[in-house]
Amino acid sequence: MNKIKHLLARDQWIVPFLKTQKSGFFWSILLNLLTIVAASALMFVSGYLISRAAQRPDNILLIYVPIVLTRAFGIARPIFRYAQRLVSHNWVLRFVSKSRQRLYESVASTASSIRGRFQTGEVLSLLADDLDQLQNLYLRTLFPLGTGLLVYLFVSVAVGTVNWLFMLWWLVMLTIIMIIVPTMSFLMNRARVHKQKQLQSQLYTDATDAVLGLQDWVLSGRQKDLVAQQGYIMANLARTKNAGMTFGWWRDFVLQILVLILVITTLTCVGWQFKNNHMAVNFIAAFTLAIFPLVDDFIGVNQGVSEASFYEDSIERLNTLPLPEASQIKTGKLNDTTVVLNHVTFKYDNKKIIDEVDLVVHPGEKIALLGRSGSGKTTLLKLIAADIAPLSGSITIGNQPVSKLQHQLSTPLVAVLDQQSYLFNTSILNNVRMGNIKATDDQVKLAIKQTGLQPLIDSLPNGYETQMQEAGARFSGGEQQRFALARILLQDAPIVILDEPTVSLDPKTEYDVLTQIFKVLQNRTIIWVTHHLTGIDYVDQAYFLENGRFVLADTPKNLRKTSAHFQQLLAMDGIN
Ligand X SMILES: Nc1ncnc2c1ncn2[C@@H]1O[C@H](COP(=O)(O)OP(=O)(O)OP(=O)(O)O)[C@@H](O)[C@H]1O
Sign, Cα dihedral of 354, 357, 363, 366: negative
Task: CB nearer to ligand X: give 249 or 348.
Answer: 348
3-class secondary structure for 237-305? HHHHHHHHHHHHHHHHHHHHHHHHHHHHHHHHHHHHHCCCCCCHHHHHHHHHHHHHHHHHHHHHHHHHH
User: Which residue lies nearer to ligand X by CB, 346 or 475?
Assistant: 346
Minimum separation from the CB atom of position 115 to ligand X (A)? 8
> Long-range contacts made by residues 42-45, C-beta under 8 angstroms, separation at least 24?
42/70, 42/73, 42/74, 42/77, 42/293, 43/286, 43/289, 43/290, 43/292, 43/293, 44/286, 44/287, 44/289, 44/290, 45/69, 45/70, 45/73, 45/286
**Near ligand X in 46-75, by CB under 6 A:** none
Q: Which is nearer to ligand X, 376 or 556 (CB)?
A: 376
Q: Find out whether 361 and 528 touch, Cβ atoms under 8 Å.
A: no
Per CB under 6 A, the list member of 185, 205, 266, 375 interacting with ligand X is: 375
Shortest reach from residue 535's CB to ligand X, in Å:
17
Q: Smaller CB distance to ligand X: residue 33 or 529?
A: 529
Q: How far apart are CA 357 and CA 66, in angstroms?
A: 86
- Out of 140, 366, 377, 524, which residue is the one contacting ligand X (CB under 6 A)? 377
- Burial of residue 287 (number of CB atoms within 10 Å: 0-12, 13-18, 19+): buried
Q: Which is nearer to ligand X, 353 or 367 (CB)?
A: 353
Stretch that binds ligand X, among 37-45, 227-235, 366-374, 513-521 (CB under 6 A): 366-374
One-letter amino acid for residue 279 of the chain: M
| Residue closer to ligand X, measured from CB, 69 or 503 | 503
* Cα 37 to the center of its chain, rounded Å: 37
Q: Work out which of 16, 57, 78, 116 binds ligand X, going by CB under 6 A.
A: 116
To ligand X, the closest distance from the beta carbon of 110 in angstroms equals 13
Chain centre distance of CA 452: 38
Least Å distance, CB 102 to ligand X, is: 24
Among 379, 481, 516, 534, binds ligand X (CB under 6 A): 379
| Min CB(371)–ligand X separation in Å | 6
Phi then psi for residue 415, to 5 deg, are -110, 150
Q: Is there binding between residue 376 and ligand X (CB under 6 A)?
A: yes
Q: Which is nearer to ligand X, 110 or 309 (CB)?
A: 110
* Min CB(348)–ligand X separation in Å: 3
For the bound state, the minimum distance from the C-beta of residue 217 to ligand X, rounded and expressed in Å, comes to 25
Q: Number of residues in contact with ligand X, rule: CB under 6 A?
A: 12
- Alpha-carbon distance 274 to 255, whole Å? 28
DSSP-assigned beta bridge partners for residue 361: 339
Phi then psi for residue 55, to 5 deg, are -105, 160
Residues 320-349 that bind ligand X (CB under 6 A): 348-349
In the bound state with ligand X, the residue whose beta carbon lies nearer, of 52 and 377, is 377
Under 8 Å between Cβ of 513 and 501: yes
Instruction: Identify which of residues 305 and 380 has a Cβ nearer to ligand X in the complex.
Output: 380
Question: C-beta of 313: minimal distance to ligand X in Å?
Answer: 23
Amino acid at 534: T
Identify which of residues 293 and 371 has a Cβ nearer to ligand X in the complex.
Answer: 371
What is the smallest separation between the CB atom of 101 and ligand X, expressed in angstroms?
27
> Cβ of residue 483: shortest distance to ligand X, in angstroms?
23
Q: Decide: is 110 part of the binding site for ligand X (CB under 6 A).
A: no
3-state secondary structure of 500: coil
- Given the rule CB under 6 A, which of 1-9, 127-135, 368-376, 513-521 is the region that contacts ligand X? 368-376
CB of 352 to ligand X, least distance (A): 10
Listed in sequence order, the DSSP H helices in 388-531 are 402-405, 428-433, 441-450, 454-459, 477-491, 507-520
Does 374 bind ligand X (CB under 6 A)? Our answer is yes
Query: What CA–CA distance (Å, rounded) separates 367 from 377?
Result: 12
CB of 341 to ligand X, least distance (A): 14
Tell me how far apart the alpha carbons of residues 16 and 18 are, in angstroms, rounded to a whole number: 5
Site for ligand X in 473-492 (CB under 6 A): none
Among 59, 373, 410, 459, the residue binding ligand X under the rule CB under 6 A is: 373
Is the CB of residue 498 less than 8 Å from the CB of residue 338?
no
Answer yes or no whether residue 541 interacts with ligand X by CB under 6 A: no
Distance in angstroms (rounded) separating the CA atoms of residues 438 and 124: 28
Task: Name the one range near ligand X by CB under 6 A: 261-269, 293-301, 370-378, 514-522.
Answer: 370-378
The residue (of 358 and 465) whose beta carbon lies closer to ligand X is 358
Question: Least Å distance between CB 212 and ligand X?
Answer: 18
Q: Within 10 A of 551 (CB to CB), how many other CB atoms are there?
A: 12
Question: For ligand X, which residue of 28, 205, 240, 378 counts as binding (CB under 6 A)?
Answer: 378
Q: Quick one: which segment of 277-285, 376-384, 421-429, 480-488 binds ligand X (CB under 6 A)? A: 376-384
Phi, psi of 370 (to 5 degrees): -120, 160
Instruction: Closer to ligand X by CB, 352 or 474: give it.
Output: 352
Which one of 37, 45, 353, 468 is in contact with ligand X (CB under 6 A)?
A: 353
Q: How many CA atoms lie within 13 A of 406 on its CB side?
A: 22
Q: How far is the CB of 545 from ligand X (least distance, A)?
A: 7
| Cβ nearer to ligand X, comparing 36 with 381 | 381
Region binding ligand X by CB under 6 A among candidate stretches 133-141, 193-201, 210-218, 374-382? 374-382
Partnered with residue 179 across adjacent β-strands are: none
Q: Which residues contact ligand X by CB under 6 A?
A: 116, 348-349, 353, 371, 373-379
